[in-house]
Amino acid sequence: MPSARLILASASPRRRELLAQLGVPFDVMVAEVTEHEAPDSDPRHLVEHNAALKAEWVAARHPDAVVLGADTTVFVGQTVLNKPRDGADARAMLRLLSGRTHTVFTGLAVRCPARNLRLALGVASEVTFKTLDEAVIELYLSRVHPFDKAGGYAIQEHSELIVAGFRGSQTNIVGLPLEETKQILTRAGLLR
């Protein structure tokens, strides 16, 4: 049986770049869904729900394809930080993260209705921020576009300004944990 076509259900250019590193050909289709983003949500459930929502929306339109959905959020204290709405929101997020350790959660969901395939996986990494003053926050935001990034930052862009260190998967912090993505796609029969 020929292997199924893989579709990434994501608008994220970073996820596209990371998935390409696994060497599996794939198409991209952005799911037209409203993600759950309540700041008081359980972050693990939030990312799993949103990843499944995206994968199921695309899989309903391409039932023979293997669809990969992913969602990432930042969790600090008891608060979920999604993508900032504007510059003031991005500044507030960086102030909240300053001098603290937070967790980055990504949920992965694979769906293929034709094969009755329903897989899910969650990944967590920790990031510790330096103590940031207003000048560093402004410098960082002048160099990085924060509005499509959970928590208002990107570990792969000018992290020397804001990040003291991290534990766990760096690709998870970027938005697609490669080792776990490889595992879930192997379980789906797309990788050996």
Please tell me the distance from the alpha carbon of residue 108 to that of residue 186, in angstroms, as a whole number: 13
Q: What share of the chain is helix, strand, coil (3-state, %, to 5)?
A: 40, 25, 35
Q: What percentage of the chain carries pLDDT values higher than 70?
A: 98
Q: Which residues are catalytic?
A: 71
> Coil, strand, or helix at residue 184?
helix
Angle formed at CA 68 by CA 64 and CA 70, multiple of 5 degrees = 155
The answer to whether the pTM exceeds 0.85 is yes
Tens of pLDDT, residue by residue over 5-42, are: 999 999 899 999 999 999 999 999 999 999 888 888 89
Please tell me the distance from the alpha carbon of residue 72 to that of residue 102, in angstroms, as a whole number: 13
Write down the mean pLDDT value for the chain.
95
Query: Encoding tokens for residue 152?
Result: 């208002």
53 and 33 Cβ atoms separated by less than 8 Å? yes
128 and 163 Cβ atoms separated by less than 8 Å? yes
Can you list the domains of the chain with their CATH numbers? 6-187 (3.90.950.10)
Which of these, 146, 117, 95, 120, lies nearest to 44 by C-alpha position? 120
Q: Which residue has the tokens 């959660």?
A: 105
Q: What percentage of the chain carries pLDDT values higher than 90?
A: 92
Longest dimension (CA), the chain: 58
Residue 134, classified by CB atoms within 10 Å of its CB into exposed (0-12), middle (13-18) or buried (19+), is: exposed
Tens of pLDDT, residue by residue over 67-109, are: 999 999 999 999 999 999 999 999 999 999 999 999 999 999 9
Please tell me the distance from the alpha carbon of residue 179 to that of residue 32, in angstroms, as a whole number: 27
87-97 vs 134-143: helix axis angle to the nearest 10?
A: 130
Q: What is the pLDDT of residue 3?
A: 62
Q: Which residue has the tokens 């037209």?
A: 32
Instruction: Compute how many other C-beta atoms are within 10 angstroms of the C-beta atom of residue 187.
Output: 13
